[in-house]
Amino acid sequence: MIRLNTVVTLLAAAVCSGSVCAASLEYPATPRKSVSDTYFGTVVSEDYRWLEQSDSPEVKAWIAAQNALMRGVIDALPQRAAIKKELEGMLGGGRVTRRSFVFAGGKLFALKRQPPKNQAMIVVLDGHASLKSERMVLDANVLDPSGKTAIDWFEPSRDGKRVAVSLSKNGSEDGTLYIYDTASGKSLPDVVQRVQYPTGGGSVAWNADGSGLYYTRYPQGDERPQEDANFYMQVYFHRLGKPVMQDEYVLGKDFPRIAEIKLSSSEDGNYLLADVANGDGGEHAYFLRGNDANWLRIADYTDGFRNAKFGRDGRLYALGLKDSPRGRIVALKLDAPGAGLPAAAVVVSESDAVIESVVPTKSRLYVNYLAGGPSELRVFALDGRPMGTLGAEPVANINAGSRLAGDAILFGSQSFIRAFAWYAYDPAQRNAKPVKTRLSDAPIYAVNGAMPDVEVLREFAVSRDGTKVPVNILFRKGSKRDGSQPVLLTGYGGYGISLRPYFMRYAAFWLRHGGAFAIANLRGGGEYGQEWHHAGNLTRKQNVFDDFIASAQLLVERGYSARDRLAILGGSNGGLLMGAAMVQRPELFRAVVSQVGIYDMLRVELTPNGAFNVTEFGTVKDERQFKALHAYSPLHHVRDGVAYPALLLTTGEHDGRVEPWMSYKMTARLQTANPGGRPVLLRVASDAGHGIGTSLASVIDEDADVFAFLFAQLGMQ
């Protein structure tokens, strides 16, 4: 039985510092049922595998009990109500944002968010992105007033007359394809099931005349065994008005089980490109289809290409990383592809900064560069001749959002202390320069679009092997560095994803209440290119945790915080980071928030999306990789009697990317390891998944719980 009157004891313990405080929570009973596996002669045992059976009555009852405990504790915190009210003002105050722009048929399509509405809407503007021209195409909030239906992605036809949309419910990302008429907003009768799933995503590409579309398709009916239902993605073609059962197979029968396919078509509709990723480790193959309907493999998984895009000059542009880890841009003639991308002409050579992407326009290439976190947009002629640099902020995050007519583009700019804004740039205009648009409003918690009383320092921690790791620290001007300041540290370190300067609500909220916020650019990310990514994946994953621990030590050693004033937060792969850092250095942190995290590295590859991560994390089927996985797997390194930090784990029942039972098992193990220690709480949302497509109301509720927990643990007001 859960005794919620122990909350008073917890609150008394919450603000203790230094030694362990006995929270005296009575956790839900969790039976221990030992099972063992043997890997290359190593026997590995665990007690909570039964929690993987999420649909069983026993597990459902356990989840309900954990949620009841968490709610009783969090709701009793005196600041929780005020925190939620403040967050509602910050996030639900009517700020309009637009993103995911697609230019088609002389029109600009976008996803629009307008709080307090729970979900995004699809809108269309004219080719100049004039707000006066904006019209609604699809409002998911009208489609489903409960706020539980989300737009996964959309793709307009080449003439812009129709829009294909993937819709899913409850944050599941399990998408069904619908077609909408742009002018009327009405749906066509065509409905295609299972075009999108969290494992491999999904996409469509329209044919030249808009009479049909190519789409990604997961196995239907009994085509595959149940365990393969979310694998073996293939490409099919649907002609509008025809029964879906008559759709034609196009490509993919020979692709890997963990293939992730993204489709795109050339401007004239004569060429179709299939970007096929071999899981999530960064290996891509490319297949090109011309008017003759034949497919040509123009790059293999080991050739090191990604981010391929059709130009408007009869060429395909791509980012090449093999033998140039900071990247080069190549151009392939579509009518004479020859030996494919490996033999294509180099138009932009490797330089000192990392190339992330390219946007081709009529006569220019806009190339995104990254230098350890900050980025810039460099402009080149189609032959590679430099034509300057675009920017709006120093030390900013610049990204090309969409091409417009001619050589005009939209690009976004933000920094840690200046809010995101869209800029339009048209080199055809006299004295052309970037012009700030009103396509996205600044948050209401920004003052003139910024946080003027906040400064950013970029320090470098020294990791265990001597590698210097950037740590970006946001704090209020005039703050003392005497260890008294509560600091919230975050990081990610995986998949080559870079943590660029970003105006974050978490940082803004934390700073306005007297804390400092820190972001570490860890190995495993892409801040310094492929070498930085590869230094933190597969058997080198421990480097990521070493980097993060070194970043935390820097914050303490240089007086930004103290161990009893330091909290860490991360999600997904960042949740793995939280788990590993916590079990490896429990004395270094006062509190931990780990969201939708991965904790059992020996069984993750047995989950649908986990199989896609083998190329990033490794597999237990390889002895060397098993030893690396076992050496850091958070679940397997929890020790009885250790004084772990206070912990809040969050997950969603409909998460198709990281199985919720990862959080269940980690919670059970930690609660058992030190039942009299700091609190270990589990939050399971019944209307959410991995966080994508979650309603605004649910986002605010979770944020309120997170901050209430952290404020209590660090003694913040």
Q: Which residues are annotated as catalytic? A: 572, 690
Position 190: which residue type? D
Quote the crossing angle between the two packed helices 661-673 and 57-75, to the nearest 10°.
Answer: 70
Report which secondary-structure segment, H or E, holds 615: helix 614-617
Q: What share of the chain is helix, strand, coil (3-state, %, to 5)?
A: 25, 35, 45
Can you say how many angstroms the Cα of residue 257 is from the centroid of all Cα atoms in its chain? 23
Contact (Cβ atoms closer than 8 angstroms) between residue 402 and residue 111: no
Q: Is 481 exposed, middle or buried (0-12, 13-18, 19+ CB in 10 A)?
A: middle
Place of tokens 């707000």: 131
Q: 73: helix, coil or strand?
A: helix
Can you say how many angstroms the Cα of residue 566 is from the centroid of all Cα atoms in its chain? 24
DSSP 688: -
Q: What are the Cα distances from residue 694, in Å, to 119, 246, 657, 664?
A: 8, 34, 14, 21
Q: What are the Cα distances from residue 684, in Å, to 186, 440, 595?
A: 36, 32, 10
- The reply to whether omega before 116 is within 30° of 0 (cis) is yes
What is the full DSSP assignment across 368-403?
EEESSS-EEEEEEETTS-EEEEE-SSTT-EEEEEEE
Place of tokens 């400092």: 516
Angle at 25 between CA 569 and CA 489, to 5 degrees: 10
As given in the structure block, the two tokens for residue 39 are: 């890997």
Place of tokens 């129709």: 162
Alpha-carbon gap, residue 264 to 275, rounded angstroms: 8
What residues are paired with 456 via a beta bridge?
Answer: 474
Q: Could you give phi then psi for residue 436, rounded to 5 degrees?
A: -70, 135
Alpha-carbon gap, residue 169 to 158, rounded angstroms: 28
Angle at 575 between CA 574 and CA 579, to 5 degrees: 120
DSSP 405: S
CB atoms within 10 A of CB 362: 15
Alpha-carbon gap, residue 411 to 401, rounded angstroms: 5
Q: Is 1 exposed, middle or buried (0-12, 13-18, 19+ CB in 10 A)?
A: exposed
Alpha-carbon gap, residue 168 to 107, rounded angstroms: 26
Alpha-carbon gap, residue 125 to 422, rounded angstroms: 15
As given in the structure block, the two tokens for residue 49 are: 């595998």
Alpha-carbon gap, residue 171 to 688, rounded angstroms: 5
What is the full DSSP assignment across 452-476?
TTEEEEEEEEE-TTS-EEEEEEEEE
